Amino acid sequence: MKPATAAAVRREAAIATVALLVAMAAGSALILAIGQSPARVWGALLARTLGDAGGVAQVLFKATPLLFTGLAVAIALRAGLFNIGVEGQLVAGLLACGVVGGALPAATPGLIAVPLCLLAAATAGGALGAATGALRAWRGSHEVIVGILLNAIVGAVVLWLGDAYLFVGESTRTADVVDGARLATIGPAGTALNTAAPLALAAAAAIAWLFARTRTGARWRAVGAAPDAAACAGGGVRRSMLTAMTLSGAIAGLAAAHYVLGYKYCYEDGVGRGAGFLGIAVALLGRGHPGGVVAAALLLGLLSHGGLVVSDLVPKELFDVLTAVIILAVAASTPMVRRRGLAALTRGARRAGLSGVAADGGAP
């Protein structure tokens, strides 16, 4: 590993460690305020989640959609964009997946049904991402404002379409997807963990390879780091914004594999609500790197399920507070860790007689 890369990894690990320690300290203080023992609560949480196969499966189940949405946000972040529209892209993907899966002939085999449903989900999410990217690239519209507006528009349009044409009976759900479109469960009996989990991990590996090994990934990183310099070097800034946001939206839409094909077997109004916004937290905690996003999704999945299994000891809302504390700690610790890393780099360069290089090129 190159020294600069190793230093960056250590810096990101330090930021995550500081955030976790702060969250644990805050959580322990809140547990004490409630009148419980922190050691008892933390011990019960670990025993009831990671202490048995069913608990592990539920943690993975909770983490799977967060991994999809976290990766979606991370892709945009690496390209210098902030995709706050992941929530709307997720909803569009869920509806498209449910409608296509329910409209297929009953005898459609899984080798055809599953790819068609996933293609519909990725296309719906990707179309919204592409619209956001195009408005940002060619019209100068801020992607955050566009994303917020599209979230509201998508939510209203989906509900109107469902009530008018798609929902069955007096319900707020579409018809069930065909049997061939249903993903297999892979967890212990009684758990809902399904093959969307390995699909999400495969997506993380593919995105890591994209950024590390391809010209497209390198171009996106260059645009995210210095868009003006990339434009001067012929980096295709507008095209990079469009393609990065398109892929971001498509990955968000693929969370339908978890909710529609692996869990509900239909689109239901409200399913997955909030997962897009939690994906922002996952991407920020994971520092925008696919590996970090995987770890962050698992952590938030652990807190989400942990809040349920220890609700007899402390209110489950306490763990929602801890999620927010972690994100705030990441935001607060990032400048401090970066300053210390830059100071250490400068001292090392001076000892080597290269203070001028450190001053010019050592900043993150």
Q: What is the pLDDT of residues 236-276, one digit of tens each?
A: 889 999 999 999 999 999 999 999 999 999 999 999 999 99
Non-local (6+) Cβ contacts of 286 within 8 A are 70, 74, 292, 293, 294, 295, 296, 297
Strand partners, 93: none
Domain membership of residue 219 as a residue range: 67-285
The tally of domains found in the chain comes to 1
Range from 232-236, 267-271, 327-331 carrying the lowest mean pLDDT: 232-236
In a domain, 7, yes or no: no
Nearest residue to 118 (alpha-carbon basis) of 272, 254, 259: 254
- For residue 254, give the DSSP letter: T
Distance in angstroms (rounded) separating the CA atoms of residues 265 and 104: 13
pLDDT score at 153: 96
In a domain, 109, yes or no: yes
In a domain, 303, yes or no: no
Non-local (6+) Cβ contacts of 18 within 8 A are 329, 333, 336, 337
Q: Are 217 and 211 in contact (CB under 8 A)?
A: yes
pLDDT at 333 over 70: no
Cα-based distances in Å from 228 to 28, 76, 232 = 46, 17, 6
pLDDT at 182 over 90: yes
Alpha helices in 314-354 (DSSP H): 317-351
For residues 291-316, average pLDDT: 92
Distance in angstroms (rounded) separating the CA atoms of residues 146 and 135: 8
- Over residues 117-128, the pLDDT tens digits come to 999 999 999 999
pLDDT at 341 over 60: no
Range from 38-52, 79-93, 195-209, 315-329 carrying the lowest mean pLDDT: 315-329
Q: Are 295 and 66 in contact (CB under 8 A)?
A: no
pLDDT score at 224: 84
Q: What angle do CA 226, 228, 234 make, to 5 degrees?
A: 100
In a domain, 92, yes or no: yes
In a domain, 80, yes or no: yes
pLDDT at 155 over 60: yes
In a domain, 168, yes or no: yes
pTM above 0.95, yes or no: no
For residues 98-111, average pLDDT: 96
Residue type, 225: A
pLDDT score at 232: 66
Query: CA 263 from chain center: how many Å?
Result: 19
In a domain, 316, yes or no: no
Range from 3-12, 97-106, 259-268 carrying the lowest mean pLDDT: 3-12
For residues 176-182, average pLDDT: 97
For residues 304-331, average pLDDT: 86
pLDDT score at 360: 42
pLDDT score at 190: 79
Query: CA 180 from chain center: how many Å?
Result: 27
Question: Which is higher by pLDDT, 97 or 226?
Answer: 97
Q: What are phi and psi of 287, to 5 degrees?
A: 60, 25
Share of the chain above pLDDT 70, in %: 87
pLDDT at 288 over 90: no
Q: Are 176 and 258 in contact (CB under 8 A)?
A: no
What 3-state class would DSSP assign to 268?
A: strand
In a domain, 349, yes or no: no
CA dihedral 214, 218, 220, 226 (to 10 degrees): -170
Nearest residue to 314 (alpha-carbon basis) of 60, 48, 45, 56: 45
